[in-house]
Amino acid sequence: MTLTEGHLTIDPPAGVPVWNVDPYAPDIQTDPIPFFADLRAKGPFAYLPKYSMLICGGYEVTKEVFSDHERFVSSRGVGLQDFSMGEPWRPPSIVLEVDPPDHNRTRRAIMRALSPKVVADLKPLFKADADALVASLIGRDIDGVADLAEVFPCTVFPKAVGLKNPDRKMLLSYGLMVFNALGPDNAQRQAAMANAPVVGPWIAEQCLRENLTEGGIGAAIYASADDGVLTEDEAGMLVRSLLSAGVDTTVTAVGSALWSFAKAPEQFAVLRDDPQGRALAAFEETIRYTSPVNAFCRTTNVDTEVAGVSIAAGTKILCVLGAANLDDAHWLEADRFDISRRTIGHLGLGAGVHTCVGQNIARAEGQAVLQALGEQVSAIKQTGPAVWRANNAIRALDSLPLRLEA
């Protein structure tokens, strides 16, 4: 038995093309659209010799793999490393990196803390912060990433969770660690992990009950410990999950919404025509069109077959959600940003039992900021080149020079 990047070395399954490409290469991560097309053209799966793994990006096959938690498990990690073969860099998430039935209790505790009522009560607070932030940026030369996308979720989300000591830099650094850790030991991962000695302990500290305000989402997770549903340690681990999954994802989505609208002024006109009515659909289309979470792995737990391909137990499959969400075999004019389209069924929030548990609070954040933009801004003008950031799991902008016209 040999290992590649911490998982079982496998042979290419019969009938699967061997593809000498590195999906974790910075030039692909920062310009993934041609790679997505090449991937879908390979058929249901391709075999990547560099990583000894399968990759898929067609809509149907990606959905099948992502939806079936029995054959394609998350407990062996959703990155390259197989947790059954060695120690991960941090204790595994007790909601993401776990399978049913263990998954059900922890997921329910988060769902309770993020109930529709909780999110509904947060909406006016999000809108007030979005209104003030957008108003402060109008008419100035700004960076859509540093001045808006990173600021908004890092303002409202820590408040909603109830962090007593919010720190945007620390939260963003942790996000970089968590998502880059899903890839190989490349430069992106090493750069993010260089901050681990400072950021890791800081995050652990913020997850403690004493560092969370009363009435926040974090305190609501600890209420499940008071009810005997979770241990105190498990409650802390679930707060860690909120801080892992709830920052970079929404920051990326807001940045990519600005980019999408800057490229498609006619779509911004549609939003402006009815900001309250269309902001939510615009955010959903942003998630489909740009897939902030670009790719996660699953691991086959049994010998199985998908789309006529026999796959051995222990195989890592890189599921490229970004490619599935732009598959023109499934979507009409897949490569067009269209806030009026039916986005139902997109894979940007995953599929199956692990579908994003924070999706309603994420939507509330996106809706607030897009509604504020539609209400206050006449045009989103890009004033310089968009720069994308190489990341092993997220497709994110590094900077986006903009002017928000009054």
Report, in Å, the least distance between residue 293 CB and ligand OVV. Answer: 7
Considering the complex, state which of residue 93 and residue 155 has its C-beta at the smaller distance from ligand OVV. 93
Closest CA to 294 of 397, 205, 189, 212: 397
Considering the complex, state which of residue 206 and residue 241 has its C-beta at the smaller distance from ligand OVV. 241
Considering the complex, state which of residue 96 and residue 279 has its C-beta at the smaller distance from ligand OVV. 96
Closest CA to 249 of 206, 294, 305: 294
Distance CA 102, CA 88 (A): 19
Report, in Å, the least distance between residue 236 CB and ligand OVV. Answer: 12
Closest CA to 209 of 162, 244, 158, 153: 162
Phi–psi pair at 101, nearest 5 degrees = -85, -15
Binding letters toward ligand OVV, positions 338-367, x by CB under 6 A: ------------------------------
Distance CA 270, CA 282 (A): 10
Q: From edge to edge, which strands make up the β-sheet containing 295-300?
A: 46-48, 53-56, 316-320, 295-300, 72-73
Considering the complex, state which of residue 244 and residue 252 has its C-beta at the smaller distance from ligand OVV. 244
How far CA 246 is from CA of 54, 89, 121, 160, 318, in Å, comes to 28, 20, 18, 11, 22
320 near ligand OVV, rule: CB under 6 A: no
Report, in Å, the least distance between residue 96 CB and ligand OVV. Answer: 4
Kindly state the DSSP code that residue 92 receives in the 8-state scheme.
Answer: P
Considering the complex, state which of residue 217 and residue 271 has its C-beta at the smaller distance from ligand OVV. 217
Residue 76: HSE in the Cβ half-sphere, 13 Å Cα cutoff: 24
95 near ligand OVV, rule: CB under 6 A: yes
Report, in Å, the least distance between residue 179 CB and ligand OVV. Answer: 6
Binding letters toward ligand OVV, positions 212-241, x by CB under 6 A: -----------------------------x
Token digits of residue 199: 């950021």
Amino acid identity of residue 123, one-letter, is K
Which residues ranging from 144 to 203 are in contact with ligand OVV (CB under 6 A)?
Answer: 178-179
Report, in Å, the least distance between residue 221 CB and ligand OVV. Answer: 12
Beta bridge partners of 142: 402
Which residues ranging from 2 to 61 are in contact with ligand OVV (CB under 6 A)?
Answer: none
Number of residues located near ligand OVV, criterion CB under 6 A: 8
Report, in Å, the least distance between residue 208 CB and ligand OVV. Answer: 17
391 near ligand OVV, rule: CB under 6 A: no
244 near ligand OVV, rule: CB under 6 A: yes
Token digits of residue 218: 């974090």
Report, in Å, the least distance between residue 43 CB and ligand OVV. Answer: 29
From the list 96, 160, 287, 297, which residue makes contact with ligand OVV (rule: CB under 6 A)? 96
Beta bridge partners of 18: 47
93 near ligand OVV, rule: CB under 6 A: yes
**Cα angle: 3, vertex 102, 171; to 5 degrees:** 75
* Strand blocks (E) in 171-253: none
Considering the complex, state which of residue 78 and residue 122 has its C-beta at the smaller distance from ligand OVV. 78
- Could you list the residues that contact ligand OVV (CB under 6 A)? 93, 95-96, 178-179, 241, 244-245
